Structure 1
Amino acid sequence: MKVKLKPIDAQVIVITGATSGIGLATARLAAERGARLMLIARNGEALETLARELTAKGVQVEHAVADVGDADQLQKASDQAIARFGGYDTWVNNAGFSIYGQCLDVPVNEQKELFDTNFWGVVNGSLIAARHLKAHGGALINLGSEASDVALPLQGAYVASKHAVKGYTDALRMELQSEGAPVSVTLIKPAGIHTRFVEHARKHVDRQPKLPPPVYAPDIVAQAIVHAATHTVRDLYIGGASASMAAFARIAPRLYDRMMSRIGISSQLTAEPVGAQTDPGSSDGALHERSSQQRVVLESSLYTQAAMHWRKTALIAGGALAMWMLTRGARRAQSGPKVAGHSVQ
């Protein structure tokens, strides 16, 4: 069965981790483009703040406090969306966090907690969404990372969870395709994004972590998610740096390992002493799309724009090439044949 995705202004979109960073940017962008929204997060106060903000703009919004690691809580949120809107068309599994620390230093119980959110949260959301979307059609969008394809020191558990998300998403896509299910399954793989990723991370290091450059704006990811809600896309790298790192590690894995063993740790740490962790589930109701760290932030990505609109890019490139060839041919015709360095008139 062919997958048919609705225009964004005809959709109901479910977003987990909706009150911060990428989830918040996506909620605002989807609302701006006319979608109705089911917002899910652990922070009830922040959910109320966001719901009031969007409702004041005429957006139809429902929200639920839920921990994505708890399948029952997430199912209740799904049921709530169906009761309010009659169903949903796109489900975005966005919630996640990281832990900074050497693999030997991070307690196993914390790594398990990370997997409860980053991996099992995606599994829970994917299972709930896929069962609904198989009957109604739509898009399932999972947030991976450049770390779905490469490894990074100091974030071993995070890297492992994002590798697991990629493997699970790819397998689920194959199974749904084999059934002819009308469901588009997309994996989004961002590079470093200027959200509160570092502030919300748990830390077992003595210096404040940072994202290595280049760092991209969360709006770029939001645009890619909204694009995937209306186009059948297998996966999307956010930022040319993400695609380049994955290609480098695939083509020259030993060289990549040597490089990261030398600069991977230092590139992720500042000279400042480590600060306190802020838990997005227990903080006040303030909404933050971006990090408080002062960084040079890339507000656009030509690579991601080209990847999202590759047909248009190919047509423009083909047209430019054809025009160049025609112009070149015309110039040759005007100059006439050459004999011993002179034009023959």
Structure 2
Amino acid sequence: MNKVVVVTGAGAGVGRAAAEQFARHGYDVALLSRDSARLDRASSELSAAYGVRTLPIPTDVADAGAVEAAATQVEETLGPIDVWANVAMATAFAPVSELTPAEIERATKVTYLGQVHGMMAALSRMRGRNRGTIVNVGSALGYRSVPLQSAYCGAKFAIRGFTDSLRSEIIHDKLDVHLTMVNLPAVNTPQFDWALNKMGKRARPVAPIFQPEVAARAIYFAATHRRREVWVGFPTVKAILANRVAPALIDHYLARTGYSGQLTDEPLGPDAPSNLFEPVPGEFSAHGRFDDQAKPRSWEMFTDRHRTMFWSLACVGALGLAALMRRKGS
């Protein structure tokens, strides 16, 4: 019998790519997202391409009851949940002064509480079986905030805090349930076409940009290996480490570059869609409009996946260099 994975935010973007990555490896996939038409298309495509069972469940992850009901439906239809991947997110491009409390609350509910609801639904079932894996999707912006995305950054910081608390509780209870977090760089997804935007210009990811399949491979890797965290892409590593060393310097740098780095010169149309409160219909899938700029691979992710080989080669190289230097010195 195939293993079962639940992927939230599976209708488009990283979630859609992650659902395909698990299906490619033989998992039966439950797809959770708000847009039922997009979920049905994704479900049909994955079943046809990989011969796995799929279950589309229209779900607003901000609703704890809906997430719990979806988890029950998954187990009744597909079987016990082996992996739960929390990918759903929402953001808004605007300074704090132009956001409403309702907009901040909604972005926080989807991005932060959506993952909390997923963790709780998954853990309540995995605890009794004493097995399973929960993958939370974080971001470099959960370590180093940027202007114009305060609600999203705050939510990603909150996910880190909740995840670390829960991990300690799992260890205390001696459960064989693995909780891991994947921190992503800028990814080429449709969010830059449908996120709430009050800036008057079209949004863009901060370069360098990675394809959603890079993120999907990292999520699958985290689900199948015992890593506490996975950092995807050198920009993520750089952002996290730089903020630890010189946060005040980064504050001023982002004050100068953080606006232009997230906006194009293209004007935003007056009828631009926003998916914050309602899903945006359409033929969206994993990729956004930045295919010509996005990288299909991450060197940092490669070294993480193959770290034993990488460090072994590095040690062999270092020893070889030391021997060569000794010969030259003699």
Do they superpose with TM above 0.5?
yes
Q: Does 1:37 align with 2:29?
A: yes
Aligned to 1:97: 90
Identity over aligned pairs, percent: 27
2:221 is aligned to: 227
| Among 76, 97, 105, the residue aligned to 2:69 | 76
Summarize deviations over 1:218-252 as a string: whole Å, max 9, x none: 11111111111111111111110011011111101
Bigger shift: residues 253-262 or 54-63: 54-63
What does 1:60-209 correspond to in 2, within 5 Å? 60-136=53-129, 137-209=131-203
The residue correspondences of 1:20-35 to structure 2 (distance < 5 A) are 20-35=12-27
Distance 2:227 2:187 in 1: 21
Tell me how large the CA RMSD over aligned residues is.
1.9
Q: Distance in 2 between matches of 1:98 and 1:37?
A: 26
Match in the other structure for 2:47: 55
2:306 corresponds to 1:309 = yes
Shift of 1:323: 4.4
Q: Does 1:19 align with 2:15?
A: no
Decide whether the 8 Å contact of 2:211 with 2:291 is kept in 1: no
1:277 and 2:273 matched: yes
- TM-score, normalised relative to structure 1: 0.89
Alpha-carbon displacement from aligned partner over 1:102-136 (angstroms, at most 9, x marks no partner)? 11111111110111100111111111111112222
1:253-292 aligned at under 5 Å gives the runs: 253-275=247-269, 276-279=272-275, 282-284=279-281, 286-292=283-289
TM-score w.r.t. length of structure 2: 0.93
| Deviation for aligned residue 1:318 | 2.2
Contact 2:31–2:39, Cα closer than 8 Å, also in 1: yes
Q: Residue by residue, what CA displacement relative to the aligned partner does 1:307-340 show, whole Å, maximum 9, x if unpaired?
A: 23222211222233344455666xx3xx9x97xx
> Contact 2:142–2:153 (CA<8 Å) still a contact in 1?
yes
Unpaired segments of 5 or more residues in structure 2? none
- What whole-Å deviation, never above 9, does each CA across 1:45-95 have from its counterpart, x for those lacking one? 111111111222311112211110111111111111111232111000110
CA distance in 1, matches of 2:41, 2:188: 22
TM-aligned CA deviation for residue 44 of structure 1: 0.8
* Secondary structure, aligned partner of 1:144: strand
Per-residue CA shift, 1:249-287, capped at 9, x if unaligned? 110111111111111112111111124125396444624
Instruction: Decide which moves more: 36-45 or 294-303.
Output: 294-303
Matched residues in 2 for 1:177 and 1:287: separation? 40
Which stretches in structure 1 are left out of the alignment for 5+ residues? 1-8, 339-345
| Equivalent residues, number | 325
Q: Decide whether the 8 Å contact of 1:13 with 1:91 is kept in 2.
A: yes
For residues 312 and 131 of structure 1, what CA distance do their matches in structure 2 show? 37
CA distance in structure 2 between the aligned counterparts of 1:285 and 1:204, rounded to whole angstroms: 22
SS at match of 1:160: helix
Q: Secondary structure at the match of 1:104?
A: helix
The structure-2 alpha-carbon separation of the partners of 1:321 and 1:294, relative to structure 1 and needing over 3 Å to count, comes to closer
Structure index of larger Rg: 1
Residue range with higher mean Cα deviation, 71-80 or 302-311: 302-311
Q: CA deviation at 1:293?
A: 4.1
Distance 2:8 2:304 in 1: 25
The residue type paired with residue 296 of structure 2 is E
Distance 2:294 2:183 in 1: 18
- Out of 219-228 and 48-57, give the one that drifted further: 48-57
